[in-house]
Amino acid sequence: MNEPKTLQEAIVYFSDSDRAFEFACKLRWPNGKIACPRCGSAKHYFIKTRKLWFCRGCDKQFTLKVNSIFEDSPLGLDKWMIAFWMLVNCRNGVSSMEIHRTLGITQKSAWFMLQRLRLALQEKSFVKLGGPGSEVEVDETFIGGKARNMHRKQRMRMKERSADNWGKAIVMGMLERDGKVRARVVPDRRKPALRDTIFDTIDAGSVLYTDEHPAYMAVDSDYVHKVINHLQHYVDGTVHTNGIENFWSLLKRQLHGTYVSVEPFHLFRYVDEQAFRFNTRKDDNGAKISDAARFAEAMGRIDGHRLTYNQLTGKDQSPRHESTGTRETEAPF
């Protein structure tokens, strides 16, 4: 059977456990050289009936799921694959309730599954955006409820808590024109936070396009800085921030329309999810990327990521939480 190109084909294709296993192996080890995720040894033998390997280097068993986002999960790859396909290819994201109804698992399991999948979508590249002559749009946005929809007492509490952002979270985005977007949650809109984020993400000498926010003036000495005054107009020749504004519209449509309510503690995960979809719309030649290619790109990132439920919920930082030592051995596929 040919590899799937649509969701309907993916459901049929991954319903066969052997095909799903072989497909995941090919994407995790594209060169065909399977190595132990613990010691890195390539000397092992495969136990076909249990779909696991026995490493001759460390004398331990390992499965496809070890040291990946799938590790220690009792759910089969058929469910993981379909959830991943839907997450990376649905433009506005997919909620845990929809995964719960589609795959027949609990909503709690679906939420945990999606958070682990979002971990694989995070951009870990150390390559900075821009460079001499490159154009980068920079802007920030507020994420949270509208003040006019709040009760008066709630508005007052928000104002007392933070005069700068009314209790909302702030996301800063940097978009290289005809390139990728990087977005991250920042603590505030003050000069140190915005300046440090720009220095960490954008290469010196780039042409920066920002709005009239005074905090951006701190980067004038390292970048070619051009400002658009939104009180006068939104476009002045090539000076505008419409590209990053387009990303904000997609992000807010996802947060408000699909996920409805997102805790600030988890916001960065949803931002990374939308950034991945935005960055995989087209390839380097400008051609549209298919759903299958986007899914393969996401599956290629599963290696080396591990997220436990205690880490996700912050219980591992709680002084009242003690590890029970359960579920420390990986379950076979």
pLDDT the model gives residue 14: 94
The whole-chain average pLDDT of the chain stands at 88
pLDDT the model gives residue 321: 53
pLDDT higher than threshold 50 for residue 328: no
Residue pLDDT, tens place only, 177-217: 988 999 999 998 899 999 999 999 999 999 999 999 999 99
pLDDT tier, 163 (very low <50, low <70, confident <90, very high otherwise) = low
Determine how many CB atoms are found less than 10 A away from the CB of residue 143: 20
Determine how many CB atoms are found less than 10 A away from the CB of residue 129: 20
Determine how many CB atoms are found less than 10 A away from the CB of residue 236: 13
Among residues 171, 169, 168, 195, the alpha carbon closest in space to that of 182 is found at 171
> Counting Cβ atoms within 10 Å, is residue 94 exposed (0-12), middle (13-18) or buried (19+)?
buried
Left, alpha or beta for 146 (phi > 0: left; psi -120 to 50: alpha)? beta
> Counting Cβ atoms within 10 Å, is residue 183 exposed (0-12), middle (13-18) or buried (19+)?
buried
Collapse the DSSP code of 216 into the 3-class scheme (helix H, G, I; strand E, B; otherwise coil) and give the result: helix
Tally of residues, the chain = 333
Claim: this prediction has a pTM higher than 0.85: yes
pLDDT the model gives residue 288: 92
pLDDT higher than threshold 60 for residue 75: yes
Cα-Cα end-to-end distance for the chain: 22
